[in-house]
Amino acid sequence: MDNLFDISGKVALVTGGSRGIGAMIAEGFVKNGVKTYITSRKSEQCNHKAKELSKFGECISIPADLTNMTDMDKLVNHIKENEKNLNILINNAGAAWGAPFDTFPENGWDKVMDTNVKAVFFLIQKLIAILENSGNNEDPSRIINIGSIDGIGIPRAETYSYPASKAAIHQLTRVLANRLANRNINVNAIAPGPFQSNMMAHSLKEFGTQIKNSVPRGRIGEPEDMAGTSIFLSSRASAYITGSVIPVDGGSLIARRHME
């Protein structure tokens, strides 16, 4: 019981780990003794964040564009060549696109789906062997997919491909949880509500007070909220949980349902 939430000594990969929710999770891991690889498309930003987090533990930058299969293969090969184990995979890298329904562009649809769904599936597929070898019945490997409450409720913004992609991630989580359970891999998803991130930056700047007032807890999410849930889902405390989608939203989803 004393070690239920201990994740020290594990190895993790966090995609989109240089900022926003990914950086929150990476910081929580590093500060709790996890050797953490982070990747993002912008190499300078990724390297800077890894250097910053290395003050607290071990954090390694591997910049990559995960919509590019050559980049993805380089990332996967780097992990396999340098690690015997990969205990935790956080699929956080994501994209959004906003436009009116009548003029929503094909490239806005494809970019979001390629980043938020296609890349997630194929990264899992390419890392499956090392994930399987790193887990056991008592302490399985963990895949945590970052979805969104917009994949559960109806968003107010016109971001059609984004909620569709996050609903797909939630269902993919359940499908893979069923498929991979006998390979000692747990697959769960976190569905964040409003957090400080690049995707939310404009909305929070323009409508910050309204957004906070719409959340029953009266605030937006903080780094500890996201790190805490990720640590729980990566620890012995959650070894019997797979196929779940956990909203981390301060109650905003139930409030939204009530309003609807």
- 1 lies in some domain: no
- 204 lies in some domain: yes
**Contact present, 168 and 109 (Cβ < 8 Å):** no
Q: Which of 37, 160, 162, 240 is catalytic?
A: 162
- 6 lies in some domain: no
- 2 lies in some domain: no
pLDDT tens figures, 24-74: 999 999 999 999 999 999 999 999 999 999 999 999 999 999 999 999 999
More confident call, 117 vs 213: 117
- 5 lies in some domain: no
- What DSSP designation does 156 have? S
- 77 lies in some domain: yes
Mean pLDDT of the chain: 93
CATH number for the domain spanning 22: value is: 3.40.50.720
Number of domains in the chain: 1
Q: Which two tokens stand for residue 67?
A: 């919509």
From first CA to last CA, the distance across the chain in angstroms is 42
Q: How confident is the model at residue 216 (pLDDT cuts 50, 70, 90)?
A: confident
> Known catalytic residue: 162?
yes
- pLDDT(260) > 70: no
110 SS3 class? helix
- pLDDT(209) > 80: no
Angstrom distance (rounded) from CA 255 to CA 170: 20
**Contact present, 115 and 38 (Cβ < 8 Å):** no
Strand partners, 190: 146, 246
pLDDT tens figures, 3-12: 999 999 999 9
- The structure's pTM equals 0.94
- 217 lies in some domain: yes
Q: Domain span at residue 65?
A: 11-259
